[in-house]
């Protein structure tokens, strides 16, 4: 079995190094493992495991929340939130950059996706920040880092995937647990944003007038109500997380078509088509990951890898540090959903051995992956914001590194004080383990 396990993990690593798409690499590596460690008859399980990978009711929420995010992105909600955030922050040095952070966090409560959040906010904010005297590379870095909070602030697509893969996980508890660390991550980005803006004299041409609060608030109310409806419905038991995604889609359509009147039938069709394409990519990855997960669990590859980590140390904090470093490195080259699908089968035995709270650990994984979303070389959020800003990723690295460091400190804080993540779900009466 050792040879089969090495063939499974080695072929997967080799395929990734060759640039094979993640879904294909997962599927092919699973087939290699089956052929090496089992027999040809076991290939008959490929179809079943591919189907079982996506035949999960909670997964319906993923394409629906993707559609919700795209609807709010294209309905003009971001522009309304920018004006409202400007009324809150007011005219001060670095204020417009803080507005970008706040809007990213608010949009994250609607989209659940970092790249979608970065695209929506960068389109609105980067031209305004450039006009006010902020370098485009700095603006792109701030938005990319701030958009990463979408993976923590509910509804988070990554946390939905985590809840499906970890047995007995309550998605409502995960959503509640991600809220405070998400706010902490936003604060960790806002503080160096203000310091860097003042140190380098950015924003010297910012407008000195504050937008009227109540008109801007009324304009932003439809967008602000989206997270309230989603989380309020979950808390009250009015609907399940999957049903919340359906409600969010219809509410988004009402906002875009009837309240803001920025979306017509053609816009709705184009949005649904784009959401379907994005969802299809995610579902293909999830389905083919089912082959890899079945092969790895059947052959004992994940237990073997876990034992290899145990051999390094029996100290839980040392193992946690190793896991966090590995996840950070993975986040620099892989998307969040792929990281969950690849690493969770290995990490679940570690959670059980060291009695790590699964809700707390799920939030830690999300924070780690969030950092990877704006850490080169891949940095999917940074890639989106720099493209919209018309600058190179290389020019933004000098700014992004500050946010990587500050958010890493926030993550260490959550590691040392698990109550930061767990107190809210426990206060709400959700099961966290």
Give me the residue label for tokens 């669990």.
297
Cis peptide before 155 (omega within 30 of 0): yes
The predicted structure's pLDDT at residue 235: 80
pTM score, two decimals?
0.87
Are 282 and 112 in contact by the 8 Å Cβ rule? The answer is no
The tokens describing 148, both together, are 């990463």
Element counts in the chain: helices (H) and strands (E) = 20, 0
Cα–Cα distance for residue pair 152/155, rounded to 1 Å: 8
Give me the residue label for tokens 């690295």.
397
Burial code of 389-401, b = ≥16 C-beta within 10 A, e = fewer?
bebebebbbebbe
Which of 285, 225, 226, 259 shows the shortest CA–CA distance to 65?
Answer: 226
Cα–Cα distance for residue pair 324/302, rounded to 1 Å: 17
Model confidence over 129-185: pLDDT tens digits? 998 889 999 999 999 999 999 989 988 888 998 998 898 888 889 999 999 999 999
Are 182 and 362 in contact by the 8 Å Cβ rule? The answer is no
Are 396 and 386 in contact by the 8 Å Cβ rule? The answer is yes
The tokens describing 7, both together, are 């063939």
Helix runs in 200-335, H state only: 213-236, 241-254, 265-299, 301-312, 316-331
Give me the residue label for tokens 């290995």.
346
Cα–Cα distance for residue pair 346/26, rounded to 1 Å: 14
The predicted structure's pLDDT at residue 184: 96
DSSP label of 334: S
Cα–Cα distance for residue pair 165/52, rounded to 1 Å: 12
What 3-state DSSP class applies to 374? coil
The predicted structure's pLDDT at residue 242: 83
For the chain, 433 residues long, give each residue's pLDDT as a single digit of tens. Answer: 678 878 888 898 898 888 888 888 888 998 888 888 877 667 778 888 888 888 887 888 888 888 888 888 788 888 888 888 888 887 777 788 999 999 999 888 887 778 888 888 888 889 989 988 899 999 999 999 999 999 899 888 889 989 988 988 888 899 999 999 999 999 999 999 999 999 998 877 776 667 888 888 998 999 888 888 888 888 888 888 888 888 989 999 999 999 988 899 999 999 999 989 988 888 888 888 888 888 888 888 777 777 777 777 878 888 899 999 888 888 877 777 888 888 888 888 888 888 999 999 999 999 998 998 898 877 888 888 998 899 988 899 999 999 999 999 999 999 999 999 999 999 988 888 7
DSSP string for 147-184: HGGGGTSSS-HHHHHHHHHSTT--HHHHHHHHHHHHHH
Which of 125, 150, 111, 82 shows the shortest CA–CA distance to 389?
Answer: 125
Q: Give the start-to-end residue ranges of the domains of the chain.
A: 57-282+300-427
The predicted structure's pLDDT at residue 1: 65
Are 209 and 228 in contact by the 8 Å Cβ rule? The answer is no
CA atoms within 13 A on the CB side of 184: 21
The predicted structure's pLDDT at residue 197: 92
What 3-state DSSP class applies to 314? coil
**CB burial of residue 269 (10 Å; 0-12, 13-18, 19+):** exposed
Which of 100, 189, 116, 186 shows the shortest CA–CA distance to 336?
Answer: 116
The tokens describing 218, both together, are 């009324």
Cis peptide before 377 (omega within 30 of 0): yes
DSSP label of 256: I
The tokens describing 305, both together, are 């890898």
Are 176 and 432 in contact by the 8 Å Cβ rule? The answer is no
């Amino acid at each position: 079995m050792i040879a089969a396990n090495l063939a499974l993990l080695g072929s997967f690593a080799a395929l990734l190094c060759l640039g094979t798409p993640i879904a294909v690499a997962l599927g092919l590596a699973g087939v290699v493992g089956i052929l090496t460690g089992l027999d040809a008859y076991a290939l008959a399980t490929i179809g079943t495991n591919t189907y079982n990978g996506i035949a999960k009711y909670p997964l319906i929420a993923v394409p629906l929340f993707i559609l919700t995010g795209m609807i709010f992105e294209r309905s003009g909600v971001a522009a309304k939130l920018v004006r409202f955030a400007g009324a809150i922050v007011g005219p001060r040095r670095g204020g417009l950059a803080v507005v970008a952070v706040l809007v990213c966090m608010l949009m994250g409560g609607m989209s659940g996706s970092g790249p979608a959040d970065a695209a929506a906010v960068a389109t609105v904010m980067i031209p305004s920040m450039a006009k006010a005297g902020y370098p485009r590379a700095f603006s792109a870095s701030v938005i990319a880092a701030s958009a990463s909070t979408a993976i923590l602030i509910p509804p988070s697509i990554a946390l939905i995937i985590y809840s499906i893969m970890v047995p007995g996980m309550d998605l409502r508890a995960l959503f509640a647990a991600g809220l405070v660390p998400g706010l902490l991550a936003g604060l960790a980005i806002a503080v160096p944003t203000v310091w860097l803006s003042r140190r380098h004299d950015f924003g010297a041409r910012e407008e000195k007038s504050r937008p009227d609060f109540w008109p801007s608030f009324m304009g932003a109310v439809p967008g602000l109500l989206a997270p309230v409806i989603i989380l309020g419905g979950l808390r009250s038991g009015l609907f399940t997380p999957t049903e919340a995604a359906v409600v969010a889609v219809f509410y988004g359509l009402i906002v875009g078509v009837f309240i803001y009147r920025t979306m017509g039938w053609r816009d709705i069709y184009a949005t649904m088509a784009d959401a379907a394409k994005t969802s299809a990519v995610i579902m293909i990855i999830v389905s083919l990951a089912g082959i890899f997960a079945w092969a790895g669990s059947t052959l004992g590859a994940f237990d073997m890898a876990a034992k290899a980590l145990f051999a390094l140390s029996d100290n839980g904090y040392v193992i946690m540090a190793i896991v966090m470093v590995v996840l950070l490195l993975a986040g620099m080259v892989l998307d969040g959903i792929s990281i969950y699908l690849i690493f969770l089968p290995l990490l679940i035995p570690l959670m059980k051995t060291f009695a790590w709270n699964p809700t707390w650990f799920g939030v830690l994984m999300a924070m780690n992956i969030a950092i990877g979303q704006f850490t080169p070389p891949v940095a999917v959020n940074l890639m989106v914001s720099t493209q919209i800003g018309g600058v190179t990723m290389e020019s933004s690295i000098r700014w992004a590194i500050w946010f990587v460091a500050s958010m890493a400190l926030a993550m260490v804080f959550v590691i040392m004080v698990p109550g930061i993540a767990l107190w809210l779900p426990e206060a709400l009466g959700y099961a966290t383990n």
